[in-house]
Amino acid sequence: MGYLHYSNKTLTLCMIISILLIGMSYSSHYLVQTISAKKSSSSEKSSSTSTGSSSGNTTSITLNALELKNSTYRWQNTSKAINPTMHLNANTDYIIKIKNPTDTKHQLIIGSNGTEIAKGNEVAPGKTGKLTLPANLTGTVEYHCEYHPDTMKGIIEISGQ
C-alpha cells in the first residue's frame, strides 16, 4: 500500500482550520450569548413586589456574580452565558434574582443613556438579592454592577409582544 501525500499548502490550511475551530469552541463560552427568561411558579408570583402587569404574570431571571481566575467579575446566567444579552417582552413583570458566591459585594443597576431606571440592593458575599424590572419598559437598556461597571455589564432588549 502506498502512503497518501499532501502538499505543504494543504497541510497548513488544515492546521489553520483546526486551530480556528478549537478557538471558536473555546471562546464560545465567553462570547455574549442570549437568554430567555422562564415563567416563575405561582408561589413566586404571589410574593412578587413587581407592579404594572395586566396579566399578573411574573417572570424570573437569575444572574450570578462570577469571579474569573484573573480576579475580574462578570454576570453569568443559568445557561453559563457571560454578561448575556437578555431578550424580554414588554408589559411583563420581571424579577432578576442575583446570587453572589464571590468574595466581594455587587449591586445590579439598570439604565439607559446614563439615566438610572432601576437599582437593586447591595448583595453581600454569599448572599442573594433581587431587582424588579418595570413592566412599562421598551427598547434597549443596559445593566451593570455598581462596583464593577466595566466588566459586569450587558444589554437588555425589550420588545412588544
| Residue 29 pLDDT > 80 | no
What is the extent of the structural domain holding 97?
A: 34-159
Is residue 5 a part of any domain in this protein?
Answer: no
Q: What's the pLDDT tens digit per position in 77-89?
A: 999 999 999 999 9
- φ/ψ of 9, rounded to 5, equals -65, -45
Is residue 26 a part of any domain in this protein?
Answer: no
Q: What's the pLDDT tens digit per position in 35-45?
A: 344 443 333 32
- The pLDDT value given to residue 14: 74
- The pLDDT value given to residue 31: 39
CATH number at residue 45: 2.60.40.420
Q: Edge-to-edge strands of the sheet including 34-35?
A: 34-35, 85-89, 153-159, 139-145, 108-112, 115-119
Is residue 29 a part of any domain in this protein?
Answer: no
Is residue 3 a part of any domain in this protein?
Answer: no
> Could you tell me the three cell numbers for 68?
474569573
- The pLDDT value given to residue 1: 57
> Could you tell me the three cell numbers for 45?
408570583
Tally of structural domains, the chain: 1
Is residue 121 a part of any domain in this protein?
Answer: yes
Q: What's the pLDDT tens digit per position in 114-133?
A: 899 999 999 999 999 999 98
Is residue 130 a part of any domain in this protein?
Answer: yes
